[in-house]
C-alpha cells in the first residue's frame, strides 16, 4: 500500500546503526513519549501510537470476546424475566402450567435472543450511534412481542393472556435497554482508550510503510508500534515518528511481540525473492502476517486500511469460528478451574504444610515462562527443590538422580501435584487447563536454547499454555534432553493447537491422571 509514486521516504531522520542493540519495550515507550513531546505540528505531534494504553495480545483478545459475554448475560436476563412472567400467569405453579399458556413467552424469548444475534447487535461497530442501536433493539422487541401475541392467539384464541404478553414485552425491553446501554458504554470506553485499536509492526522501511503510517495518523484506528528492516544501513532511525527497531531476525525474539496483533510486510510485492525469504522466516512467529499490497486510488487504499483496522470484536453470527472457540475455552477454564480449586484446597493446604516442614524456604516456586503470543507470565508451583538450588531459567534439566530435589519434592514431581497452584494462573487468564506446557524463558536443551532447535517452535504459543496437554498425555512432558525431544514436543503441541475443541479438552483432562500415574518412571 502506498501513496502516489512521488511520495518519498523522509530523509531528515538519521540512519540507524545496524550494530545497535534492538530496543526493548520500555525503550520504545520512552522513545514514543519523547517523540510526542518534541514533534513538529501535525500528525507527528499526536504520535503514531499511545504507549500508555499498551495491552498484550492475551488482554486484547479477552476484549475481543466481549460480545460472547454480553450475549451470555442477555440470555440469562431474558430467561429470568420470562420465567418470572410465566410463573406469574400460572395459577397452579410453573411446573404444572398449561403448555399453551407459557409457550408463547418462551418462544418470544428465543426469538428475541435469536434476532439480537443474527442482526449483529453485539458488534457495536465503530461510528454506530447509540440511539440507532437502541432503536434496533426496540424493533426486535416489537417484532418479538407481536409474534408472542400471535402465537398466544393461535394456541388459546380469545383466552390468550394479552396483558401478560404486553408486560413481558415491556419488562424485556427495559432489561435489554439497560444492558445494551452498559455494553455500548464499555465498548466506547475501550475505543477511546485505544484498547480495541489493532497493534501492528511493519517489516520494511519503505514508501509503503511511510504511506501507511501517515494514513494511520490521520485515521487513528491503527497503532504502528515499530518498523523492522534487514537493510538497516540504509534505513532512517524513524519514519513519521515510528522507530526502526532492528532487523527481521530481531523481530523473532523482540520483547514487543506479545503486544502485536499483526505483522505487515510493507515491501514491494514485485520483490519476489525477498518476499519469499521474509515470509518463510516470519512463519516462526505466532502473530498473523499480512502482505501490504499497493492499491490503486484512494478508495482501494481506504479499503485496505479498513481491513487492517477492522474492529476486533468477535462476531456471533455465522459459522463456528476461532473467537467462539476461545470463548468456550475460557468459560470452561473458569467453571472447571473454580470447581477444581475449591475441591483441591484441602490437598493443597496439606502439600503446603509438607513443603514447609521438609526443607527451609518458601512454599511456592515462581518462574517466568512463555505464555500466549510470547507473553512473559509468572507460573506458580509448589517448591520441589532446595531453595538455594532453584533454577529459574531451567538452564540445567532435571535428571533421575537430581540432588536438588527434596524428599517431598520428589513425590510431588512424580505425581505432578507440584503443578496445582497453576489453577491460579488459569483463573487469572494467563493459562488454560489444557494447552502446550509453558516453557521457562531461556530454557536450554544441552547448551542451546530449546526455542532455537525447531523452526516451528513459536507456533505452540498461538494458544494459552496449559496445566496439562496433548503432548503430556502422549509421554512428552518434563525436561527436554535432546533436539529430537524438542521436535516431538513441538509437533504434538502444534497438532493440539490445530485440533483444539471442547471435547478434545475434556478428553485430555479425563485421561491426564491415569496417564501420569501409569508412567511413574518419567522424569518430571
How would you write 367-388 as a 3-class SS string? EEEECHHHCEEEEEEECCECHH
Instruction: Return d(Cα 126, Cα 453) in angstroms, integer.
Output: 44
Beta-sheet strands, E only, within 156-287: 199-203, 223-228, 238-239, 242-246, 262-265
- Looking at residue 440, the DSSP 8-state letter turns out to be B
Instruction: Return d(Cα 241, Cα 239) in angstroms, integer.
Output: 5
pLDDT computed for residue 346 by the predictor: 93
CA-wise closest residue to 153 among 110, 223, 196, 100: 100
Q: How many helices (H) and strands (E) does the chain have?
A: 17, 12
φ/ψ of residue 186, rounded to 5: -60, -50
Beta-sheet strands, E only, within 204-241: 223-228, 238-239
Buried b or exposed e, range 130-145, using 16+ CB within 10 angstroms? eeebbebbeebbeebb
Q: Kindly list the distances between the CA atom of residue 440 and the CA atoms of 322, 380, 443, in Å, as whole numbers in the listed order.
A: 27, 12, 5
Q: How far is CA 88 from the centre of its chain?
A: 43
Angle between helices 322-358 and 407-415 (to 10 degrees): 160
State the pairing for strand pair 376-382/364-370: antiparallel
For residue 432, what are the β-bridge partners? Answer: 466
Angle between helices 207-219 and 297-308 (to 10 degrees): 70
Q: Kindly list the distances between the CA atom of residue 277 and the CA atoms of 203, 206, 230, 272, 508, in Å, as whole numbers in the listed order.
A: 12, 17, 11, 9, 38
pLDDT computed for residue 266 by the predictor: 75
pLDDT computed for residue 3 by the predictor: 32
pLDDT computed for residue 425 by the predictor: 92
Three-class DSSP category at 337: helix
* Average pLDDT, consecutive stretches of 10 residues, N- to C-terminus, the chain (524 residues): 31 45 52 44 41 64 81 94 88 75 89 88 76 91 91 80 88 94 88 76 79 76 81 73 80 78 74 71 73 57 62 53 78 92 93 91 88 84 82 65 82 86 92 88 68 64 86 78 79 83 88 73 53
H-run or E-run covering 275: helix 272-282
| Domains of the chain as residue ranges with CATH | 61-193 (no CATH), 196-308 (3.40.50.20), 322-517 (no CATH)
Could you tell me if 382 and 344 are in contact, meaning their C-beta atoms sit under 8 angstroms apart? no
What's the burial of 207, exposed, middle or buried (CB within 10 Å: 0-12/13-18/19+)?
buried
* Cell numbers that stand for 283 in this block: 512463519
Amino acid at each position: 500500500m502506498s501513496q502516489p509514486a512521488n511520495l518519498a521516504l523522509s530523509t531528515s531522520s538519521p540512519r540507524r546503526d545496524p550494530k545497535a542493540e534492538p530496543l526493548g519495550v520500555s525503550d520504545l515507550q520512552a522513545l514514543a513519549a519523547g517523540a510526542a513531546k518534541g514533534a513538529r505540528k501535525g500528525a507527528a505531534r499526536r504520535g503514531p501510537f499511545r504507549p500508555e494504553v499498551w495491552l498484550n495480545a492475551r488482554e486484547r483478545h479477552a476484549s475481543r470476546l466481549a460480545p460472547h459475554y454480553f450475549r451470555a448475560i442477555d440470555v440469562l436476563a431474558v430467561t429470568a424475566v420470562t420465567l418470572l412472567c410465566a410463573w406469574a400467569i400460572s395459577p397452579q405453579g410453573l411446573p404444572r402450567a398449561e403448555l399453551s399458556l407459557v409457550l408463547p413467552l418462551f418462544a418470544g424469548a428465543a426469538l428475541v435472543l435469536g434476532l439480537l444475534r443474527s442482526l449483529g447487535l453485539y458488534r457495536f461497530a465503530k461510528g454506530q450511534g447509540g440511539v440507532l442501536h437502541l432503536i434496533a433493539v426496540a424493533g426486535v422487541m416489537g417484532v418479538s412481542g407481536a409474534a408472542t401475541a400471535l402465537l398466544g392467539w393461535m394456541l388459546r384464541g380469545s383466552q390468550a393472556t394479552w396483558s401478560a404478553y404486553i408486560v413481558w414485552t415491556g419488562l424485556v425491553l427495559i432489561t435489554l435497554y439497560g444492558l445494551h446501554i452498559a455494553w455500548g458504554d464499555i465498548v466506547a470506553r475501550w475505543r477511546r482508550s485505544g484498547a480495541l485499536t489493532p497493534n501492528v509492526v511493519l517489516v520494511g522501511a519503505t514508501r509503503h510503510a511511510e504511506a501507511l503510517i501517515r494514513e494511520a495518523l490521520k485515521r487513528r484506528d491503527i497503532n504502528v508500534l515499530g518498523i523492522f528492516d534487514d537493510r538497516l544501513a540504509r534505513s532512517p532511525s524513524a519514519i513519521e515518528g515510528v522507530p526502526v527497531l532492528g532487523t527481521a531476525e530481531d523481530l523473532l525474539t523482540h520483547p514487543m511481540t506479545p503486544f502485536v496483533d499483526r505483522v505487515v510486510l510493507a515491501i514491494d510485492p514485485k520483490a519476489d525473492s525477498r518476499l519469499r525469504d521474509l515470509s518463510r522466516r516470519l512463519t516462526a512467529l505466532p502473530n498473523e502476517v499480512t502482505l501490504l499490497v499497493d492499491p490503486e486510488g484512494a478508495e482501494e487504499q481506504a479499503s485496505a486500511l479498513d481491513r487492517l483496522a477492522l474492529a476486533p470484536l468477535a462476531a456471533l453470527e455465522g459459522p463456528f469460528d476461532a473467537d467462539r472457540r476461545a470463548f468456550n475455552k475460557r468459560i470452561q477454564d473458569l467453571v472447571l478451574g473454580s470447581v477444581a480449586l475449591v475441591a483441591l484446597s484441602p490437598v493443597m493446604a496439606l502439600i503446603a504444610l509438607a513443603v514447609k516442614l521438609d526443607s527451609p524456604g518458601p512454599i511456592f516456586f515462581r518462574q517466568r515462562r512463555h505464555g500466549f503470543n510470547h507473553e512473559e507470565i509468572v507460573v506458580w508451583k509448589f517448591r520441589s527443590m532446595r531453595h538455594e538450588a532453584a533454577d529459574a531459567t531451567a538452564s540445567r534439566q532435571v535428571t533421575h538422580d537430581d540432588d536438588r530435589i527434596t524428599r517431598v519434592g520428589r513425590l510431588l514431581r512424580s505425581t505432578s501435584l507440584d503443578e496445582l497452584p497453576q489453577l491460579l494462573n488459569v483463573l487469572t487468564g494467563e493459562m488454560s487447563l489444557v494447552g502446550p506446557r509453558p516453557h521457562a524463558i531461556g530454557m536450554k536443551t544441552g547448551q542451546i536454547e530449546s526455542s532455537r532447535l525447531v523452526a516451528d517452535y513459536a507456533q505452540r504459543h498461538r494458544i494459552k499454555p496449559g496445566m496439562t496437554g496433548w503432548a503430556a498425555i502422549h509421554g512428552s512432558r518434563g525436561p527436554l534432553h535432546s533436539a529430537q525431544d524438542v521436535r516431538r514436543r513441538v509437533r504434538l503441541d502444534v497438532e493440539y493447537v490445530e485440533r483444539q475443541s471442547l471435547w478434545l479438552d475434556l478428553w485430555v483432562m479425563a485421561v491426564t491422571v491415569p496417564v501420569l500415574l501409569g508412567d511413574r518412571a518419567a522424569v518430571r
